[in-house]
Amino acid sequence: MIKSLAVLGSTGSIGTQALEVAQMHSMKIEALTANSRTDILENQIRKFNPKMAAVADEKAAADLKTRVADTSTKVLSGADGVKECASCGAEAVLNSIVGIAGLAPTLAAIEAGSTIALANKETLVTGGRIVIDAAARKGVSILPVDSEHSAIFQSLQGCRDKKQVKRLILTASGGPFFGRRKEELVNVTVEQALKHPNWSMGAKITIDSATMMNKGLELIEAAWLFSMPADKIDILVHRQSVIHSLVEYEDNSVIAQLGVPDMRIPIQYALTYPDRFESPVKQLDLAEFATLTFEKPDYETFSCINLCRRAFEKGGLYPAAVNAANEKANELFRQGKIKFMDISYAVGEALENAESKDDFSLEDVFEIDRKIRFDTERLLK
């Protein structure tokens, strides 16, 4: 079990649950970061007394600095401040920032040699090869926090040769709109889209679950994490979110990980790997569920899944492009400025029109991110 930890995005849904797990196992918190919610961050600083804390928004950072002037925590600001926290040298850095804003901090933590507990899926979607290569060069492990990837990681324990794996099966809850056709989704509201059947999560990923873009992003994340081609990764709709994902082996034996839908299990496993300890999570009583159901996704209505699959297969900057279109469109939808189906439309347009290259740098990733966000906003106006 790791003893010292930095939590990036500590004020969010995953961040606050990670701190709960860390507290239960007496881990020392070295650094905390947020974007702007300084009230929550102030409480966390007083409770965990980290060496440093960063707030991405400059004005909010100045406010926090005044509020915690009586503590020994050094307050940093801006994206550079967040990166400095990522480089604090903690044994592990848990990255639960939302969006591509998490990419540079993951790379900074890798450079500092910390183990990465990765919730920020956009890191691997946008940075893919760059991140995997950096981790290999530094000998750093990237341990998944995302529940599906944690389930696959757990189901792969004991697998001595990846060649024996036939298929990874990512389960999907299907989100609030599963079973509805395209025409029935034209006028759904933000409020309806934010009502996830099984999980309580941050707003961006909750909308991603409603469009099922989340599963597309997870497919790309799984491909990088487990070095699997996209055609060996399947999606299975499982409404109850009890089976968190499965691995099918050469002999058609299937190993899965089950548990109640509670992120504190995958968070804790990433921090205590390869050991297991008591957790704050409720026992799974399968009899309570009576039936577990499985269905194929409706790829036509939830087109984002295959748009992501195609982006990964095309490679280059395409995954970063579809991610950028989604981040922008997701935000515009939450602001009430566009309709629900505009999100998948924007993702499709980005895949169609992005200018990619095979050999690219981190700067190219940020450049395509800026460009596609700009184009998406113009497209949807």
Minimum CB separation from ligand NDP for residue 265, in Å? 11
Among 6, 56, 235, 237, binds ligand NDP (CB under 6 A): 56
Residues 102 and 123: their CA atoms lie apart, in Å, by 6
Q: Are strands 4-8 and 28-34 parallel, antiparallel or unpaired?
A: parallel
- Kindly tell me which residue out of 36, 71, 272, 356 binds ligand NDP, with binding defined by CB under 6 A: 36
Helices (H) and strands (E) in the chain, counts: 16, 11
Q: Does 37 bind ligand NDP (CB under 6 A)?
A: yes
Binding partner selected for residue 13 from Mg ion, ligand NDP, none, CB under the kind-specific 5 to 8 Å limit: ligand NDP
Considering the complex, state which of residue 87 and residue 147 has its C-beta at the smaller distance from Mg ion. 147
125 binds ligand NDP (CB under 6 A): no
Stretch that binds ligand NDP, among 12-20, 150-158, 274-282, 311-319 (CB under 6 A): 12-20
Residue 34, interface with ligand NDP (CB under 6 A)?
yes
Work out whether 104 is an interface residue with ligand NDP (CB under 6 A).
no
The contact pattern for Mg ion, residues 144-163, with x = CB under 5 A and - = no contact, is: --xxx---------------
Contact 257, 155 (CB under 8 A): yes
Is there binding between residue 35 and ligand NDP (CB under 6 A)? yes
Closest listed residue to residue 99, CA positions, set 208, 211, 227, 225: 208
Q: Which of 25, 199, 279, 299 binds ligand NDP (CB under 6 A)?
A: 199
Contact (CB, 8 A) for 113 and 138:
yes
Residue 13 interacting with ligand NDP (CB under 6 A): yes
- DSSP-assigned letter for residue 184: G
Hey, which residues does 167 pair with through a beta bridge? 248
Query: Which residue has the CB atom at the shortest distance from Mg ion?
Result: 146
Least distance from Mg ion to the Cβ atom of residue 209, Å: 8
Using CA atoms, how far apart are residues 135 and 127, in angstroms rounded to an integer? 12
Q: Residue 225 CB, nearest distance to ligand NDP (Å)?
A: 13
- Asked if 19 touches ligand NDP (CB under 6 A), the answer is no
**Euclidean distance between the first and the last CA atom of the chain, given in angstroms as a whole number:** 50
The whole-angstrom distance between residue 38's C-alpha and the CA centroid of its chain comes to 22
Can residue 96 be called a binding residue for ligand NDP (CB under 6 A)? yes
Q: Is 170 in the site for ligand NDP (CB under 6 A)?
A: no
Q: Which of 5, 151, 170, 201 binds ligand NDP (CB under 6 A)?
A: 201
- By beta-carbon proximity to ligand NDP, the closer residue of 64 and 247 is 64
Residue with the closest Cβ to ligand NDP? 12
- Cα angle value 48/49/53 (rounded, 5°): 100
Length of the chain: 381
One-character DSSP codes across 105-129: HHHHHHHTTPEEEE--THHHHHHHH
Question: What burial letters (b/e) apply to 130-147, b meaning 16+ CB within 10 Å?
Answer: bbbebbeeeebebbbbbb
Give me the residues that bind ligand NDP (CB under 6 A), please.
Answer: 9-15, 34-37, 56, 82, 96-98, 101, 119-122, 146, 199, 201-202, 204-205, 263
Give me the residues that bind Mg ion (CB under 5 A), please.
Answer: 146-148
